[in-house]
Amino acid sequence: AEGLHAWVAVAGDGEVVGHVMVQGTAPTASVTRLFVAPSARGQGLGARLLNRARQWAADHGIDLDLEVTADERSSAIALYERTGWRRTGTEQASWTGPSGEPVLLHRYVLQRDQQLAGGVNTVTRIGNRVHRPAGEWTPAVQALLKHLESKGFTAAPRAHGLDAEGREILDFIPGEVPTSEAHVTDEALSEVAVMLRAFHDATLDFTPPPDVAWHFAPRAPAEVVCHGDVAPYNTVFRDGRPVALIDFDTAHPAPRVWDVAYAAYRFVQLVEDGVPAAEQARRLALFADAYGLSGTDRGFLIDTAIARLHHLVDFMRAQAAAGHPAFSRHVAEGHDAYYLRNVEHIRRHRGVFEAAVRP
């Protein structure tokens, strides 16, 4: 038929185990049939078939819609709503069921992929999910996020495996993600510290899968799993209050203070062109107190902040030398030099900072 497109899934033995059919031409086409054989259900085949139709529609600039008759609790409804389809209406169909019962007809449209602002990765929002590039560390991160979910820690996205393109799938957490230069109130600063402490504590009994890789090598003593990049640009806010941490790619086992020092640098803004050093010191103490930082770690905090910034610069320069586009741009823009100037700022005001956090 004119405007009919179909994609068929065939098992290794040649058996057809699923297909999806799309009818129509620009500007809108309809998914008229999605079928997965009973023997192939529960393996994500339906989602992969829908993704193939999605790719075709995107390539041709076509919007997709569909109609489905299914119970609200059915797996079909769950499939559509987790793969980026938005319900536009529900009404009683003009026909009845086998026993004369009324039938509800749900209408859906496919939400277009939305590119989200990101630092070094291309992140795509599809419905209420975020799809982002996976790396060798992704199995460790997915296991960590599953563990956090099991512990009732809600200030992190839930993990949903990989999509048909091999990208990591995570919950989309609504809210605002500020820039690295964003100023947060004292109240929000304390809440970030409390959230970071809750995250660290939730990882105390985490056992990573055997032989997993981390983005950064574990650091001794591996007291907790550190996020590795706690900053405003990796924190979701609502109405000026922090609600979640995102982008756990750089998570790795390390001492608590390794995360605390960098988070304090970013949120307190221990920078040469910021507020006076005395005000930075006051907010640094506020952060350390809200986290509940131990006396021992308070003694290491300033040296750790300096070491953490050197680690960042070394990593950035190595990635740029290897040809990574985002890090090459950062070095060209002088980000590495800026961090090193802030190292000197922290050294210059070490006395006031250390006095502020001293127990």
Domain boundaries, the chain: 4-110, 123-171, 186-357
Pair type for strands 85-96 and 114-116: unpaired
CATH topology of domain 4-110: Aminopeptidase (3.40.630)
CA distance 132 to 54: 17
Question: What secondary structure letter does DSSP report for 229?
Answer: -
pTM of the model: 0.71
Residue 142 exposed, middle or buried by CB count within 10 Å (0-12, 13-18, 19+): buried
Helices (H), 61-184: 75-82, 138-150
pLDDT tens for 274-310 read: 999 999 999 999 999 999 999 999 999 999 999 999 9
Pair type for strands 85-96 and 63-68: unpaired
Q: Is the peptide bond between 253 and the residue preceding it cis, with omega within 30 degrees of 0?
A: no
**pLDDT interval class at 338 (50, 70, 90):** very high
Lowest mean pLDDT among 30-34, 67-71, 80-84: 80-84
Q: Which residues does 3 contact at the CB level (< 8 Å), separation at least 6? A: 23, 24, 25, 29
End-to-end CA distance of the chain: 78
pLDDT tens for 193-240 read: 999 999 999 999 999 999 999 999 999 999 999 999 999 999 999 989
CA distance 349 to 221: 28
Do the domains 4-110 and 186-357 sit in the same CATH topology, yes or no? no
CA proximity to 305, closest of 251, 345, 275, 273: 345
Q: How many residues in the chain? A: 359
pLDDT tens for 71-112 read: 666 677 777 766 667 777 888 888 888 888 888 888 877 655
Q: Find residue 89's DSSP bridge partners.
A: 107
Q: Find residue 129's DSSP bridge partners.
A: 126, 171
Q: Which CATH class is domain 186-357?
A: alpha beta
